[in-house]
Structure 1
Amino acid sequence: MLERRVNLDGRAATAEVPRITVGGLRMAAIDLEETADFMIEATNPDHRIGRPLFLTSANGEVLARCSTEPQTEQLFRAADLINADGQPLVAASKLQSWFPLPERVATTDLFHVVARKAEAAGRTFYMFGASEAENAAAVANVQKMYPRLKIVGHSHGYLRGEALRAKVEEINALAPDYLWVALGVPNEQAFVKEFTPHLTNVGVIKTSGGLFNFLSGSRSRAPQWMQKIGLEWVWRTLLEPRRLLWRYLTTNPRALYLLFSRNRPLR
């Protein structure tokens, strides 16, 4: 696959992480705790690779878009590691593979596990994305939940042109161990592609979707029973029908087809 040929630094840095192809994308076959441990270890000075590691996540919508949008597919294949942020991906892997995904690794859950470990290890965060109000509220809540966590900076994501380039320079000067980028698919992946060469002091970039909206409290997670059976998308659609109904009606059927036609273990 493309990313195994051209992304040699990332391949070496993630060589010990097992993968499985689900719906056409190579997913990390590790659980939530293991993913957080990997992220902590990746920011150890001895393991830096001269650029930030690029971690992203995929769900059914992402699989569907990658299968029909070549540019989006290219952005995801450039990632060093892709987590499965969708219960249907986990279920499909268990039905079809001897080496399935152990569990869903939702960024909304992963953030908290990494934050707890980062507190103990003295690692630093930068939170970039969402609106100014959402970003500020998310940061304030995170600081309340994790008072010893070092957040070296934060910014909303509505920057363009010279203002964005200046912000990237500022982020690099602050040298956070983790840069959480919440701009939505595929904008956040495009941000990583464009600005990685200018973020050499950053340890890990994790794309985050709507994470800050949950951290701010403006959106609520689906009940646990809906998350466990893969119906969180229904909950989100009920909360935002005008924005999400057509999206899921058009991507879910395609995602189901991909989940049962393009799966295979790698190692």
Structure 2
Amino acid sequence: MNKIVLGGLPIVHTTRGAFARQMIADCLNRVGGPAKVSFSCNGYVVAKANIDQAYARLLAEADYIDADGMPLVFASKVKYATPLPERIATTDFFHDAAEQAASHGVSFFLLGGTPDVNEAVATAIRARHPALCLAGRHHGYFKPADEAGIFAQITASGADVVWVGMGTPRQEALALRIRDSLIGPGWIKTCGGLFDHIIEAHPRAPDWMQSRGLEWLYRMYREPRRLGWRYIWSSPLAAYFLHARSAPDKGIV
């Protein structure tokens, strides 16, 4: 899959639909070996990766990093003759992937959220995608000592794709440990707050704000205590690094 460097990171140059088909192909065509690991990137990820070497090393382990943020799409239009065709918003991508998975017999495992959210999101997904096989699920509130049991549960489920919905960088680190510990899954996809969005616990920004790259402003308005400072420090840095490190020779991982 083709990639371009944006903000120092190798971003897949593809559409949502094609990326979903890539997921299915990787799952159906795998012959042993570790799973493919897919992370998502927005302005916050760009900023953090450029100032936090430990986080950058996690991102360097990914097979795919997709553009889940309009600032990356805007930067690609300025920096490249062939820009990114669209944003791959994880909440939308999940449903593209679920439709493809249901058609090809590819199964999902949901890892993350509170116990109540994890149960509710499984119910919501079954209602929207009745043909999709949900092989298993587990909430995200567990201790390190519980990991081995959860990994065994994933293996026993036979799941093809593991969706890991937690905060950054915990979800990336966990995704890599799953990859290094298990043979069964074909894909491991980090998904942040996807589960809360699916059950509409955290409403998404209006479409006009999403298309203009203002979803961060809506989220900051909705959750100022949790997200205010994050966006205040990361947004200027993201803008700088998207300008300064968006070229084939500017990769940091």
Q: Please classify the TM superposition score into its range, dividing by the shorter chain length.
A: over 0.9
Query: Are 1:30 and 2:14 matched, yes or no?
Result: yes
Structure 1 distance, partners of 2:26, 2:145, is 31
**Corresponding residue of 2:126:** 143
Amino acid at match of 2:47: A
Q: Does the CA-based 8 Å contact 2:111-2:162 persist in structure 1?
A: yes
* Residue among 127, 135, 138 paired with 2:110: 127
Partner in structure 2 of residue 58 of structure 1: 41
Question: SS of the counterpart of 2:23?
Answer: helix
SS at match of 2:244: coil
1:172 counterpart letter in structure 2: T
Query: What residue in structure 2 maps to residue 227 of structure 1?
Result: 210
Q: Deviations over 1:62-96 (max 9, x none)?
A: 01001111111000111000001000100111111
| Residue 78 of structure 1: aligned partner | 61
Identity of aligned residues (%): 37
How many residue pairs align between the two structures? 249
Q: What residue identity is the alignment partner of 2:11?
A: M
Separation (CA, whole Å) in 2 of partners of 1:60 and 1:49? 35
Q: Distance in 2 between matches of 1:83 and 1:193?
A: 17
- Equivalent-residue separation in structure 2 for 1:248 and 1:239 (angstroms): 13
Contact 1:27 1:82 in 2 (8 A): yes
Query: Contact (CA 8 Å) 1:97, 1:265: kept in 2 or not?
Result: no
Say which is worse superposed, 23-32 or 98-107, in terms of deviation. 98-107
The alpha-carbon deviation at position 100 of structure 1 amounts to 1.4
Which structure 1 residue ranges, 5 or more long, are not aligned? 1-16
Counterpart selection for 1:167 from 150, 160, 181: 150
**Could you tell me whether the CA contact under 8 Å between 1:48 and 1:203 is conserved in 2?**
no
Distance 1:90 1:20 in 2: 11
The 1-side partners of 2:73 and 2:140 are apart by 31
Look up the equivalent residue of 1:35 and give its one-letter code.
F
Q: Distance in 1 between matches of 2:144 and 2:60?
A: 26
Structure-2 residue corresponding to 1:21: 5
Q: Which moved more, 1:243-252 or 1:99-108?
A: 99-108
Q: CA RMSD in A?
A: 1.1
Could you say which residue in structure 1 is the equivalent of 2:94?
111
Structure-1 residue corresponding to 2:185: 202
Give the C-alpha shift of residue 49 in structure 1: 5.0
- TM-score, scaled to structure 1: 0.91
Unpaired stretches in structure 2, ≥5 consecutive residues: none
Which structure exhibits the higher relative contact order, with contacts defined as CA atoms closer than 8 Å and separated by 6 or more residues? 2
- Residue pair 2:76, 2:84 contacting (<8 A) in 1 also: yes
Q: Distance in 1 between matches of 2:90 and 2:182?
A: 22
- When the two structures are superposed, what TM-score results if normalisation uses the length of structure 2? 0.96
Contact kept in structure 2, 1:132 and 1:156, CA below 8 Å = yes
What amino acid does structure 2 have at the position aligned with 1:23?
Answer: G
Aligned-pair CA distance for 1:48: 3.7
Instruction: State the shift of 1:102 in Å.
Output: 1.1
Q: SS state of the match for residue 43, structure 1?
A: helix
Task: Give the partner amino acid of 1:39.
Answer: M
SS in structure 1 of the partner of residue 39 of structure 2: strand
